Structure 1
Amino acid sequence: MPTYLARVELYNAEPEDYEGLHKYMLSLGFRRTIPHGDGSYNQLPDGTYVFEKGGDIYQIRSQISDYADRLSGYRASVFVCEFSQCAWYLYPAKTR
């Protein structure tokens, strides 16, 4: 099953705009945490999400962009990629 990473940046946004984005991304199946090999989870940077389901990368990007643009003072920056490996130094997640 493919794993996607999405990065979204809103312009001239308030904290509540990002809270709305987080809720929307969660409704699509994206998470703000990533599992570590030892069973713990790490927190992804703000505006960064992972998704572990099938889907068309271009459709996923469009879904995110259509919503994020409504929250942003300017067209939101949206980056989506599929990956099979990653390495990181991240803070532990407060919750899964």
Structure 2
Amino acid sequence: MPNFVVRVEMHSASAEHYEMLHEKMKARGYKREAQGTDGRMYRLPDAEYMATKSFSADDVRDETRAMADSIVPGSFVLVSQVEQVSWFLAPAS
């Protein structure tokens, strides 16, 4: 199954709006952390998620946009299908 990196920006959203988004995304299998090659879990930047899904990038975009727009209409969603991810992030607490 393909892996995706998803970025969401909700315009004029509060911290509470983003907490609602995090809960909705989590319920659909999106994660805010990624496991490094060292086995440790790393936090992703704010409002960025990773997921493994059995459908296309367009479907991931539509699913994510529907969740975000149910909280704050007119959200920005960027989806990238990835084979390999390399990053430098602070370890999760």
TM (normalized to structure 1)?
Answer: 0.89
- The one-letter code of the counterpart of 2:17 is D
Q: Work out the CA distance in 1 between the residues paired with 2:56 and 2:86.
A: 24
Q: In the TM superposition, what is the alpha-carbon distance from 1:53 to its structure 2 partner?
A: 2.8
Task: Using the TM superposition, give the Cα deviation of residue 16 of structure 1 relative to its aligned residue in structure 2, in angstroms.
Answer: 0.7
> 2:21: which partner in 1?
21
Q: What is the distance in 1 between the residues matched to 2:32 and 2:65?
A: 17
Over the aligned positions, Cα root-mean-square deviation in angstroms equals 1.2
One-letter code aligned to 2:24: Y
Aligned twin of 1:11: 11
Runs of 4+ in 1 over 6 A off after TM superposition: none
Aligned equivalents of 2:53, 2:38: Cα separation in 1:
22
For 1:35-54, what aligned pairs fall within 5 Å after superposition? Answer: 35-54=35-54
Counterpart CA distance in 2 for 1:33 and 1:55 is 21
Counterpart AA for 1:81: S
Q: Report what 2:59 is aligned to.
A: 59
**Matched residue of 1:46: which SS?**
coil
The aligned residue for residue 92 of structure 2 is 93
What is the aligned residue count? 93
Where does structure 1 lack aligned partners over 5 or more consecutive residues? none
> How high is the TM-score relative to the length of structure 2?
0.92
Q: CA deviation at 1:81?
A: 1.2
